[in-house]
Each structure stands twice: as C-alpha cells, then as structure tokens.
C-alpha cells in the first residue's frame, strides 16, 4: 500500500469533499425524494471512472470497484437524505429549500464516501478484492432505504459492511465505537379499547374502557421491572392515553393508548412485544372490553460484529493514531444501517464533529445543527484505509 502517496492525495481530495458537502447542504432533499442528490453522486462517480454503477432503487446509487488481486468484498455505506426542518444556521451555504435541511450530517457522509471513491479508483491496479460503495436513500424515514437496497441485492457477494456517522455531540478528534448493539431497536405500539359507554351514574350498565385502560397502563409499566432480566436494558413508555370528552358525566365507548419501546437484543424485543399483547388482551378480557394491539417494528439494533470491529479498530490505530478512540455505551436512537449489519457482519463507528470553540454544539435534527468540516477528513481517511485494509485480510 502506498501510504504516503495516499496521504498526500487525501489533502487534495479533502478540498473537493468540502465543496461537495456545501453544495449538498445547499440542495437538501427529503427521504425517498433524493433525485437530484443521487444524480449528482452518479455523475461524479461516472466522471471518476473505473466503477460498475447501478441504481438499485429510484434514488440510491451503488458503485462497485473491482481490484486486480484476490481479496474480500467490503461495502462502505453513506446515507444521503435530509430532514423536514427549517434551517437557522445562518451559514453562507445555508439550505436553499425552505423547510428542508441537512440537519443530521448526511451531506458530509455522502461527500466523504465520494472522496474515498475518487481516491480508491485511482489505485485500482493495486487493489485487492472489491469495494462496494453504497449511497443510500431515506435513512430518516422508516421503513428506511437500507432494507430496500438489501432487498434489491446490493449485499450479494459482500463479505463485510462498514458505516460511519458524524456526531456534533461528540468533539472533533474523538471516535466512538463498541462491540455488539450500538443503537437500540425502536418500535411503537398502539392499543384501541372498545367498551360500552353510558351514564356515569349507572356504571353497572356500561363496559368501562377507561378503567380498563388505566389497569393496562399499570400492567405495561410492570413489563420491564417484572419480565425482563435486570441486566438487559429496555424501555417501555406509554406516551398516549385518549379517552372521554367534554361531558364529565359520560363513560366513554373507546380508549386509545400508545407508546414506544427500546430494546438492545432481538430476544428482549420479542419478549416485550409478547408481554404487551398478553397483558393488554388479558386485562381487557377480564373486564369484557375488546382490545386491538398494533405493534410496529422500527429499525432494529445496529450490531457491531466482534471480528469486523477488531479489524476497524486496527485501521483506526494505524491510520488515525492522532484521534482518541472511546468505547461507549449504546445509544437509544435509531439507525437503519441495521438492515445491512443484520445481513452481513458489520461495524458502525461514530466520528466526532462537534467543536465548542466554533459554536458547533447543537444536537442532530436541530435547526442550528452543524458539523466541524475538519471531521470530513477523518471520515475520508477512515473510508480509504478501511477499504484498503479490510479487502486484503
């Protein structure tokens, strides 16, 4: 590997990466509507040359770069979509689309991976194996773009998949990683109760869904404390309870309950789901109320494979030795990289892009969200050396 030559190239291409990031930042597109963004990515990749390009879905792009020596097939992923947020950063390259903003750093992700593609295609002769660049649409909107790309076969023949997220809440210079679950599975549930309303003065003539609903909420709040291993993190939060109207002398007909579930293992996820259904149906039956439970799966946990994570840590230690690597607890946010890492062994890392001195401290999805552009170079370096190293092993 011509490490020094590549390091010099990184300095050059970093300037392109900043330019692309600013262009994408100015021209954000919502999930599943990344028409212009994906065309921009496709055209640039075509201009670099050397790739086998495809469009697995309407607004995603995949570029395959085949090396000339045998080796592993490594996929690198970047997400490309923006959010329905009105930007308030005041940046010179602020969004030109009212109410749409790159408020999660996906503009940076796309640009870093484009930069890596530009560098790696110039080293095609020395490459082992194959690199698959996944430019993914719709990370922000469940059911998400990743599972559509997987269904379209983008991981066929891939050995390992690696992804990156820039974080404004992690200081520039710091990189976060962990083995196993990095993010939580995040699901929602809705319960509708059908009783028989009536006058408050004659409860014996009604079937009261409100009193039943109250028992159900209490029951649901016991799931984590009574049914789940205390060493397995999980959350069940009831966040909605709708019943009754203006008249205080009326027992209502129906009640609507809803809430959110976060879990870190597939077993606990299934257990919580089953307990929600059993408790709701059991209490409803005891009270003669009809209950319907709708449980909707959101993104599952991003699982960092032990072996791939060890390889990635090696890359970080060798090629980003000037950065601080921290082993962290799981995050309870969702990330649809899980659709890739469920399919193939993978690793997802968090690259610090916050900077207090520059006032870059706002969290993701905030109208003043920004990233320290120095972090783009970390991501670029990470992608290039991950591809070069992992394909060889």
Residue 106 Cβ, how far from Ni ion at the closest point, in Å? 6
- Output 82 or 104, the one with its CB closest to Ni ion: 104
Which of 31, 198, 161, 38 lies closest to 110, judged by CA? 38
CA distances, 28 to each of 17, 84, 103, 126 (Å):
16, 10, 10, 36
Is 299 an annotated catalytic residue?
Answer: yes
Q: Are 294 and 193 contacting, i.e. CB atoms less than 8 angstroms apart?
A: no
Closer to Ni ion at the Cβ: 104 or 119?
A: 104
Q: How far is the CB of 45 from Ni ion (least distance, A)?
A: 22
- Is the CB of 104 or the CB of 272 nearer to Ni ion? 104
Of 34, 87, 140, 373, the catalytic one is 373
Shortest Cβ 242–Ni ion spacing (Å):
31
Between 104 and 353, name the residue whose CB sits nearer to Ni ion: 104
CA atoms within 13 A on the CB side of 200: 8
Q: Report the alpha-carbon distance of residue 288 to residue 369 in Å, rounded.
A: 50
Shortest distance, CB of residue 235 to Ni ion, whole angstroms? 21
CB of 58 to Ni ion, least distance (A): 21
Q: What is the CA 92 to chain-centroid distance, rounded?
A: 28
Catalytic residue among 14, 140, 299, 311: 299
Contacts of 283 (CB under 8 A, 6+ apart): 212, 215, 216, 219
Residue number with CB closer to Ni ion (41 or 104):
104
Rounded to whole angstroms, the Cα distance separating 66 from 51 reads 8
First and final CA of the chain: distance in angstroms?
13
Position of minimal CB gap to Ni ion: 104
Nearer to Ni ion, 85 or 104 (CB): 104
- 3 state SS of 305: coil
Tell me which residues touch Ni ion (CB under 5 A): 104
- Give the up-direction half-sphere exposure of residue 314: CA atoms within 13 A in the CB hemisphere: 12
- Tell me the longest C-alpha to C-alpha distance in the chain: 85
DSSP-derived secondary structure letter, 140? S
Least distance to Ni ion, CB of residue 336, Å: 9
The CB-of-110 to Ni ion minimum distance in angstroms stands at 12
> 145 near 79, Cβ under 8 Å?
yes
Cα–Cα distance, 247 to 200 (Å, whole number): 10
In 228-237, which positions are buried (b, 16+ CB within 10 angstroms) versus exposed (e)? Answer: beeeebbebe
User: Which positions are annotated as active-site residues?
Assistant: 299, 373
């Amino acid at each position: 590997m011509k490490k020094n030559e590549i390091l010099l190239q990184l300095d050059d291409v970093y300037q392109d990466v900043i330019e692309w990031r600013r262009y994408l930042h100015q021209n954000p597109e919502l999930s599943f509507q990344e028409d212009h963004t994906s065309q921009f990515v496709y055209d640039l990749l075509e201009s670099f040359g050397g790739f086998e390009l495809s469009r697995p879905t309407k607004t995603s792009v995949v570029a395959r770069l085949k090396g000339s020596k045998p080796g592993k097939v490594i996929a690198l992923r970047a997400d490309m979509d923006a959010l329905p947020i009105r930007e308030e950063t005041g940046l010179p390259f602020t969004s030109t689309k009212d109410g749409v903003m790159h408020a999660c750093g996906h503009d940076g992700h796309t640009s870093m991976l484009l930069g890596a593609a530009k560098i790696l295609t110039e080293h095609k002769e020395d490459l082992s194996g194959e690199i698959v660049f996944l430019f993914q649409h719709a990370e922000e909107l469940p059911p998400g773009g990743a599972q559509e790309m997987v269904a379209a076969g983008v991981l066929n023949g891939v050995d390992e998949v690696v992804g990156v997220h820039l974080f404004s809440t992690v200081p520039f210079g710091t990189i976060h990683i962990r083995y196993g679950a990095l993010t939580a599975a995040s699901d929602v549930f809705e319960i509708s109760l059908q009783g028989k309303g009536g006058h408050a003065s004659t409860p014996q003539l009604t079937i009261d869904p409100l009193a039943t609903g109250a028992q159900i909420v209490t029951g649901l709040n016991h799931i984590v404390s009574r049914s789940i291993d205390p060493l397995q993190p999980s959350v069940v939060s009831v966040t909605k309870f709708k019943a009754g109207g203006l008249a205080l002398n009326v027992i209502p007909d129906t009640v609507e309950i809803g809430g959110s579930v976060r879990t870190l293992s597939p077993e606990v996820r299934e257990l919580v789901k089953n307990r929600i259904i059993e408790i709701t149906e059991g209490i409803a039956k005891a009270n003669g109320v009809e209950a319907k439970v709708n449980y909707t799966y959101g993104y599952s946990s991003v699982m960092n494979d032990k072996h791939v994570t060890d390889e990635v840590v090696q890359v970080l230690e060798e090629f980003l030795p000037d950065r601080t690597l921290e082993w962290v607890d799981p995050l309870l946010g969702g990330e649809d990289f899980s659709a890739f890492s469920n399919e193939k062994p993978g690793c997802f890392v968090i690259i610090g892009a916050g900077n207090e001195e520059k006032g870059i401290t706002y969290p993701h999805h905030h109208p003043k969200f920004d990233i320290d552009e120095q972090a783009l170079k970390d991501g670029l370096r990470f992608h290039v050396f991950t591809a070069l190293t992992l394909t060889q092993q």
